Amino acid sequence: MKKLLWSTILIVLSANTLFALGTVPADYSEYTALPEEKNGWTPIQTGIGCIRFAPMSHTVIGLNTDFLYSCQSRAYGISLAPVLFIGEQFGLGVSGWQRVCGTNAGLSISGVLYCIRNRGMTLSFWNRLNCNHGVAIGLVNVHSETTSLYYGPYHSMDLIAVKLSARDASGVQIGLWNSAASGFQIGLLNYNRNGWLFQWFPLINFSWRQK
């Protein structure tokens, strides 16, 4: 039974990663500017706050963890920390508070999540996504149409995002209360700016076309 469970998790994560890598648009630079890969990589990143095993500009391919807060440009694998700042996440991310300043292409589990572009799955009490092309599951799911001005450790890494708008919301939201400009929603109360019948609708609301 355990083998079946872990196999299912690995398949889901692999599928999400392949989906994300295969569907990133050619004009992706319009949305996100990330540190260059020349900064190197590491199989493990760990530490306590600002004391780290490797520089935060490195790409982690393996385990990314911290006892206080983790700040990393990109991670492939597993990221674990009470507070998690990350540029690109491909794999599993678990935290109490998480901010993905680029793309989440795996499974994100957290209490509160702020994510610029979701192409995987999020499980949080509160999901706030600029772009949702995946699945967001939470008590509250909010699509934010504004470009974020980032704060915290990432300001020194020139991590920026531009030209994010309502046209980038087309995924699935599942929660008690959902808010988006488009996409498919299942919840007690759903706000969809381009809803098929009404903007506010209980249980199910959807739209796939921007007006």
The pTM (predicted TM-score) of the whole model is: 0.71
Closest of 5, 51, 10, 21 to residue 119, by C-alpha? 21
Q: What is the pLDDT along the chain (211 residues), one digit of tens a residue?
A: 655 445 544 444 444 434 333 433 333 333 343 444 456 889 999 988 778 888 888 899 999 999 998 999 999 999 999 999 999 999 999 999 999 998 999 999 999 999 999 999 999 999 999 888 899 999 999 987 654 434 334 333 333 333 343 345 668 999 999 988 888 999 999 998 878 888 888 899 888 765 4
β 135-143/121-132 pair status: parallel
Q: 69 and 83 in contact (C-beta within 8 Å)?
A: yes
> Alpha-carbon dihedral of residues 43, 150, 96, 45, nearest 10 degrees?
10
The residue among 33, 2, 7, 6 whose CA lies nearest residue 164 is 33
Contacts of 45 (CB under 8 A, 6+ apart): 52, 53, 54, 56, 58, 60, 63, 64, 65, 66, 70, 72, 75
Complete DSSP assignment for 62-97: EEEE-SSEEEEEEEEEEEE-SEEEEEEEEEEEEEEE
Q: Which two tokens stand for residue 22?
A: 């295969």
Half-sphere exposure of 89 (CA within 13 A, CB side): 35
Backbone angles phi, psi at 30, to 5 degrees: -65, -25
